[in-house]
Amino acid sequence: MDKERRVTFFTRRFLVGRAGPFPRLVFREDVMLHLDQFAHLHNKGEHGGFLVGKVRELKSSERYEVLVERFIPVTQMEGAVRLVLAEADVRALGRALKQRQEGEVIVGWAHTHPGFGVFLSDFDKEQHQRLFPEPWQIAYVMDTQAQERAAYVAADDQWQRLEGYYILKEMAENEIVLPAAQAGRRWGRLAALAVVFVLIAGALVWGYNWAMDFVKPPEEPPPVVETAVKPPVVVNGGSSQPVEKEEEPPQSQGQAPAVEEIETETRSGEYIVQSGDNLWIIAEKLWGDPRLFPYIVIENDLEDPSYLPVGKVLLIPELPRN
């Protein structure tokens, strides 16, 4: 029957209160209703029973998700002052669940505190630690008069009141969803897509810049030397100071024509900005690779690389070799 339900229904989680520290507590909606109904019917003295469900261990061994699937009330005298659970009942229920082989265990217990607030008495605490010693087993307390509910866990004598819990609501697949809600969901999905897109684009741009900044320059120099588009740096050095540039002679031969295209009045290591120039174009002219423009920016301490008046003299750095 359960399996059949899973085919035709889907579930949704609703958080009540705050998502707090673990364990993560999840009530099936019908269990929550059952508990509330039970609490309303027994509005004098303490009443309660067992909580049965499943425990899933999350990534770390100390983190659990507890799914409460059933509430099994314990018969109690009307007006009983406190809920006393028998150890024999705990064992019998445990055995029965094991035999059913559906992975269900006793995930804790629940009881009412009609009109006297939500807390655990010393008796409650003692009973819990004796019968429900697992760190994921919960003590659930309801006070319908005060409209209060709370779940507690104890680990190594440390009591913790959970800040919230989830309600697992089963919804029919053909359940009518209001258009507004649908649209909202669609927009939410679109927004999520947009965020993913921005992240991917950011990663691409970042990755590209990273590649340009750190990967490309070291790789580039060889091609720069080969294509011999390095005239301004070498031009005059090639002709007037050949001694200093030991490695240059073979390159300067092939550069003669290129030199004239650029600017005859440049001195060694200088470039005069031409009309229509920008740093990319200059880097292209100088080294055959526009992506090397940051070397010009750094060498000239350009605060605004987009401001390049015609006639400005730029210092041209030596590119790092290797």
List residues near Zn ion by CB under 5 A.
121, 124
CA distance 46 to 123: 12
Amino acid (1-letter code) at residue 305: P
CB of 124 to Zn ion, least distance (A): 4
CB of 138 to Zn ion, least distance (A): 14
Q: Indicate the residue among 32 and 85 with the shorter CB distance to Zn ion.
A: 85
SS3 label, residue 184: helix
The residues facing 65 across adjacent strands are 24, 56
Q: Indicate the residue among 22 and 152 with the shorter CB distance to Zn ion.
A: 152
Q: Indicate the residue among 109 and 166 with the shorter CB distance to Zn ion.
A: 109
Q: Indicate the residue among 143 and 220 with the shorter CB distance to Zn ion.
A: 143
SS3 label, residue 138: strand
CB of 45 to Zn ion, least distance (A): 10
Burial class from Cβ neighbours inside 10 Å (0-12, 13-18, 19+) for residue 170 reads: middle
Q: Indicate the residue among 121 and 209 with the shorter CB distance to Zn ion.
A: 121
CA distance 56 to 65: 5
CB of 32 to Zn ion, least distance (A): 19
C-alpha closest to that of 93 among 32, 33, 151, 51:
51
107 close to 136: Cβ distance less than 8 angstroms: yes
Residue nearest to Zn ion (CB): 124
CB of 154 to Zn ion, least distance (A): 14
114 close to 39: Cβ distance less than 8 angstroms: yes
Q: Indicate the residue among 125 and 169 with the shorter CB distance to Zn ion.
A: 125
Burial class from Cβ neighbours inside 10 Å (0-12, 13-18, 19+) for residue 52 reads: buried
CB of 128 to Zn ion, least distance (A): 10
Q: Indicate the residue among 73 and 305 with the shorter CB distance to Zn ion.
A: 73
CA distance 51 to 73: 9
CB of 127 to Zn ion, least distance (A): 9
Tell me the backbone φ, ψ of residue 163, rounded to 5 degrees: -85, -10
